[in-house]
Every structure is written in C-alpha cells, then in structure tokens.
C-alpha cells in the first residue's frame, strides 16, 4: 500500500513547523531564493532548476508556484522525505534519490542541458570541506554562464565577525516568532516511527542510510564560515559571490557562474 496524500500532507506540515526551529525566518528565506531564481531566469521559456537536499519538497513547491514554466529536479538522499515530496507535491518536480557529493551524483540528475539555477536550504552544511569543494566545482560545471547557485543556511562567522552577537540576534528573532514552541528534529523522526503508513519507507531508510539525513537540525554541520564558502566558490569558477540576505547567522548566499 502506497503513502496516502492525506498522510503526506500531515507529515509535511509537521516537518515545516519543526524546521522553523532551525531556520530563522524560513518563509522569508524561501521568498528570497525564489526572487533570485525568478530574476536570473526572466524571459527564459523553460528554466532548469535543481533543488539540492530538497527533503519533503517545501522549497521545491514554492519554486514551482513562482516559476510554473520551470523544470525542477529535486534531489535528496532520504527515501522517506522524497516519497513525502512525491506524494504531496507530485507535479512540482522530478524527484531523484542520490547522495550529493558522492562519485557520480550529477549523472543521476539526468540533465539534458545546462542548469539555470541550483538552490539549497540547510542541506549542504553536512558536507566536509573536501566534498563541498568538489560539489561546488560540479555545480559550476553544470550551470550555464550567468546561472546561479543559491545556498540558504547557517554560516558560522569567522574571527572578524561578532559571533556571539550574531547568534544572539538570530535566537531572539526565533523567540519572537515562537519557533521554539514547535517539536524538534529528533521528535519529528521519533513520531514517524509510530505511523504504520511510514513503516516501509523507514525500513528502506535504515537499510540505505544509517546516518542522519541532511536538511534538519541534527544532520551535522561542517562549521565552515561564510568567508570560506566564498573562497571555495570563487576557486570553483563562480565570478561573483556574496550574501543577499542575512538575519543573525542565517544567510542566503548567491554565487554567479
């Protein structure tokens, strides 16, 4: 028996609530990402966009709503989250299960032309520096000239920035938005284990992915500061790179190919 749409809708709504604990002004982040992609792809008949670490499709669906003419490829390593996305947002994208950064991961995308944009939100921070460097190089090779990588995440400040103050500002904003009243990442996953509709997907997830998936509060963080991301992106071949939005340690980083 497949996953019902009602169950997918319920779990995706619950996912979105818990993710607010980890992404300051998450909806505003999504809006900024869509603004960037819409501006870069203006006038194109069929823009090609990849959503990296798409999880249950929250950003994917937002982009599909803003860019109905676009072809979106949503990529994640977690079969349960991808099935939630396929069921809840069936028409928003083509969904691909692969591990970002591993050998051959770009082949799995099945692209037939250069990308116009690659987007990600709280997903690439689990990559170690060497893997992140290669991933940025891969994305630079996939993007057309003038295409963009848009990465929304928490970037720890380097030693020239007011680290504790930035973290405090972000934390206070989350408190005002009552983000910490929602369940956390661990509680969400613990609750899925009690839903019979998800048992098969959870078993598949355990077989293939014993480690925590990217995209949540416990997926691990490489601890790389924004300045190092900018350096790696420039080395990979991006001509312009920098944040276009920030609140506390939360940034939307844009790199132009």
Q: What pLDDT, in 10s, does the model give residues 189-206? A: 999 999 999 999 999 999
Name the pTM for this structure.
0.88
Closest CA relative to residue 103, chosen from 77, 135, 141: 135
- Alpha helices by DSSP H, listed for 89-162, are 129-142
Q: Is the pLDDT of residue 173 over 90?
A: no
Q: Is the pLDDT of residue 237 over 90?
A: yes
Residues 58 and 12: beta-carbon distance below 8 Å: yes
Query: How far apart (Å, rounded) are the C-alpha atoms in residues 34 and 115?
Result: 15
pLDDT at 77: 95
pLDDT at 26: 87
Give domain 5-256's CATH number out of 3.40.50.1970, 3.20.20.70, 3.40.50.150, 3.10.50.40. Answer: 3.40.50.150
Q: Is the pLDDT of residue 20 over 90?
A: no
Domain segments of the chain: what residues? Answer: 5-256
Give the rounded distance of the alpha carbon of 38 from its chain centre: 17
pLDDT in tens, 76-119: 999 999 999 999 999 999 999 999 999 999 999 999 999 999 99
Average pLDDT, the chain: 89
Query: How far apart (Å, rounded) are the C-alpha atoms in residues 68 and 155?
Result: 31
Q: What are the two backbone dihedrals, phi and then psi, of residue 242, each rounded to the nearest 5 degrees?
A: 170, 165
Q: What are the Cα distances from residue 45, in Å, to 38, 48, 67, 71, 232?
A: 12, 10, 11, 10, 32
Instruction: Kindly give the pairing relationship between strand 250-256 and strand 115-121.
Output: unpaired
């Amino acid at each position: 028996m497949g996953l019902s749409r009602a169950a997918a809708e319920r779990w995706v709504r619950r996912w979105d609530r818990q993710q607010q604990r980890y992404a300051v002004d998450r909806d505003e982040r999504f809006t900024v990402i869509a603004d960037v992609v819409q501006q870069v792809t203006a006038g194109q008949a069929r823009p090609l966009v990849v959503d990296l670490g798409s999880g249950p499709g929250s950003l994917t669906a937002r982009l599909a709503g803003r860019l109905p003419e676009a072809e979106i490829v949503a990529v994640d390593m977690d079969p349960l989250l991808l099935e939630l996305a396929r069921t809840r947002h069936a028409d928003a994208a083509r969904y691909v299960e692969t591990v970002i950064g591993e050998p051959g991961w770009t082949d799995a995308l099945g692209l037939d032309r250069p990308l116009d944009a690659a987007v990600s939100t709280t997903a690439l921070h689990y990559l170690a520096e060497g893997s992140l460097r290669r991933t940025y190089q891969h994305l630079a090779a996939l993007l057309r000239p003038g295409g963009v990588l848009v990465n929304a995440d928490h970037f720890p400040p380097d030693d020239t920035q007011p680290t504790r103050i930035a973290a405090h500002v972000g934390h206070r904003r989350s408190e005002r938005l009552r983000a910490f009243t929602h369940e956390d990442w661990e509680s969400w996953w613990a609750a899925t284990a009690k839903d019979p509709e998800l048992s098969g997907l959870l078993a598949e997830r355990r077989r293939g992915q014993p480690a925590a998936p990217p995209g949540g509060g416990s997926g691990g963080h490489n601890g790389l500061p924004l300045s190092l991301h900018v350096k790696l992106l420039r080395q990979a071949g991006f001509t312009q790179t920098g944040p276009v939005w920030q609140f506390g340690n939360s940034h939307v980083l844009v790199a132009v190919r």
